[in-house]
Amino acid sequence: MGNWLIVPKGTSLARRTRTRRAAQYVRMSRELQRYSIKNQLAAIAAYAEANTLTIVRTYADEGRSGLRIKGRPGLIELIDDVQSGQADFDHILVYDVSRWGRFQDVDESAYYEFLCKRSGVQVEYCAELFKNDGTFVSGIAKSLKRGMAAEWSRELSVKVHAGHCRVASLGYRVGAPVGFRTTRHQSFAMAPRAGSSSPRAGACRRRRRRSWTRQRSALRNCRPRAKLWISRSCSGWSRIPEPPTSAT
């Protein structure tokens, strides 16, 4: 029989196991979420260990919104590597569906996942209760989670807008800092500027003074305790103390 190897029937042979390679994608939407990335990495690492996966690449979008793919270099690079054939992994580990994106069109989220699947790379959601195995139940659960992620973003936008409108209606500033400084309500007078003694400069200062007086009167009549906004460029104004009120 030569060099043939005879194996008795019923003998179980040890199979060679190949370590599966995976990439992980993490995202957080705001810089204030300091521990979000660490929590995602810890959950993904536990999932990879339980499923004999070796993480070889990490793609991250820190402080990036999930509403669209624009402005997310991590996800863009991930999809480019997968489509170009440069990916040295066959699994993509994501914490949950919302970390993949809160796309307002759920088909857009499915499209980017389909691009990976078409290239032979499987997307797996580590913290979801369903397994992304392409079954009927998995498809329904995944579509529902995508819709919930998009709806959460829409509801948050409505609530934030309503809160900003409420704060603005009370007379407070809303949004990023502006290029002005604030001061308490007090009197202002025109201070002569060096080298500006021409009649034209004097007329300009008088117009600015009349305009400022009208604005101050309007604020005083509307909100006695309102703050006045003084531009830094108005160097022609100098503060003078409020005249003392006579006792009655």
| pLDDT digits 0-9 by tens, 26-73 | 999 876 566 689 999 999 999 999 999 999 999 999 888 889 999 999
Residues 35 and 152 in one domain: yes
Indicate the number of domains in the chain. 2
Q: Is residue 239 scored above 90 in pLDDT?
A: no
176 confidence band (pLDDT: 50, 70, 90): low
User: What is the domain range of residue 114?
Assistant: 20-157
Residues 34 and 150 in one domain: yes
3-state secondary structure 167-216: HHHCCCCCCCCCCEEEECCCCEEECCCCCCCCHHHHHHHHHHHHHHHHHH
Residues 69 and 131 in one domain: yes
Average pLDDT over all residues of the chain: 77
Helix (H) or strand (E) segment spanning residue 113:
helix 106-118
Mean pLDDT of 72-96: 93
23 - beta bridge partners? 57, 92
pLDDT digits (tens, 9 = 90+) for 209-223: 777 777 666 655 554
At residue 42, the pLDDT reads: 93
At residue 31, the pLDDT reads: 60
Residues 33 and 128 in one domain: yes
pLDDT digits (tens, 9 = 90+) for 109-128: 999 999 999 999 999 999 99
Residues 138 and 56 in one domain: yes
Residues 118 and 51 in one domain: yes
